[in-house]
Amino acid sequence: MALALNEEQRILKDSARDFLNENAPVEALRKLRDEKDATGYSTDLWQQMVELGWTAVAIPEQFGGLEFGLQGLGSIFQEMGQNLTASPLFSSVVLSAAVIELLGTAEQAESLLPEVITGETTLALALEETNRHAPTNISTSAEKSDDGFTLNGAKTFVLDGHTATKLLVVARTSGDKTSQEGLSVFLVDPITAGVSITRTFMMDSRNAANVTLDNVKISADALVGELNNAYPALDKALDRGRAILAAEMLGGCLEMFQRTVEYLKEREQFGVKIGTFQALKHRASQMFVEIELSKSLVLNALTAIDEDREDAAEAVTMAKAKLNDTYQLVTNEATQMHGGIGVTDELDVGLFLKRARVSIHALGDSPFMRDRLATLKGY
């Protein structure tokens, strides 16, 4: 397996870089944050992404997608990570569309996925219930009735949950609280009686919301796929999210490394460039090495999913664990090497530092990933 992008993937990556640098630089995120924009992302930018075909990149052709794979989509997200681009692309296309594709019936996929591609529908996955990633720790209940289900519970850190036109709610229909068995997914309209959505302003300006479900009545056809057996498909969908999130984090690492090296070349202290200091050279070298290792792990994870390899879960787990550590290292070093100004809002360094902290915990921090890898290896 060649750990390099092919020509078509490189063209997509280059075009994404040019588009985002021109239309969605880091300053755009600052503007959204400072104005407390109600949506949290530019709807015009989102429509442009739809027109560019980004929403169709990883969706199979039978549902109107381009079937270009996660490697192609990952190259877009790497560029988005370098610009801290705000959009529902991750929540709607990477996570939620994957759940529909992997878990939903043929009719559900044929109905929803084309609408996701055109941007007519945006989806949000309501999974988490605690302050740490725990995909099987589900207390939200779905009790079956004659004409459907009744949902009760609360969800936290629902990415783009405040703007989504449909919610995918993970609920327990049987089994113990932490069991993989007995989980089901339901498609819920946010305007349904009993649904309460509160936007949360994250420190890194990533869009998220808390969702409360109080005796929410839904019809039987709101069930996505099979009752009580959602976890296998959900686990695969989460792995797609972890791999793409790792690609986005890699973009953030690259941007911070590039900016830090440029600063080391320009900043003078005691009449000399600080980039000539041996200690700082060593620290910059360490960042470079860790980033190069991260590149290979991310591409391996994306490729493993595209090729449906048996070790895909392991490859994704290693990639997310590594990027958690690398993004923390690089943003820490960038902040310190920029000195006191590095922690002020004047520079973008602080924005990447905050994004790193949230991304590290999203879909599994390093302890979670290492424990998962051990389990996958049979320990």
pLDDT of residue 79 exceeding 90: yes
CB atoms within 10 A of CB 5: 17
Report the pLDDT value the prediction gives residue 120, as an integer from 0 to 100. 95
Mean pLDDT to the nearest integer, 94-113: 96
Segment holding 218, helix H or strand E: strand 207-219
Burial bucket for residue 132 (CB in 10 Å: 0-12, 13-18, 19+)? exposed
Mean pLDDT estimate for the chain: 94
Q: Which residue is associated with the tokens 């296998």?
A: 232
Assign a CATH topology to domain 232-376.
Butyryl-CoA Dehydrogenase, subunit A; domain 3 (1.20.140)
Mean pLDDT to the nearest integer, 50-71: 94
Q: CATH homologous superfamily for 124-230? A: Butyryl-CoA Dehydrogenase, subunit A, domain 2 (2.40.110.10)
Task: Give the pLDDT band of residue 2 (cuts 50, 70, 90).
Answer: low
Yes or no: is domain 7-120 CATH 1.10.540.10? Answer: yes
Percent of the chain with pLDDT over 90: 85
pLDDT of residue 309 exceeding 90: yes
Mean pLDDT to the nearest integer, 118-133: 95
Half-sphere exposure of 94 (CA within 13 A, CB side): 28
Distance CA 196, CA 249 (A): 31
Task: Give the pLDDT band of residue 3 (cuts 50, 70, 90).
Answer: low
What is the model's pTM? 0.95
Give the largest CA-CA distance in the chain. Answer: 80
pLDDT of residue 54 exceeding 90: yes
Distance CA 286, CA 283 (A): 5
pLDDT of residue 185 exceeding 60: yes
Got the DSSP string for 299-342?
HHHHHHHHTT-TTHHHHHHHHHHHHHHHHHHHHHHHHHHTGGGG
Mean pLDDT to the nearest integer, 211-239: 96
Domain borders along the chain are: 7-120, 124-230, 232-376
User: What values do phi and psi take at 168, rounded to 5?
Assistant: -105, 105
Report the pLDDT value the prediction gives residue 6, as an integer from 0 to 100. 81
pLDDT of residue 340 exceeding 80: no
Mean pLDDT to the nearest integer, 118-145: 95
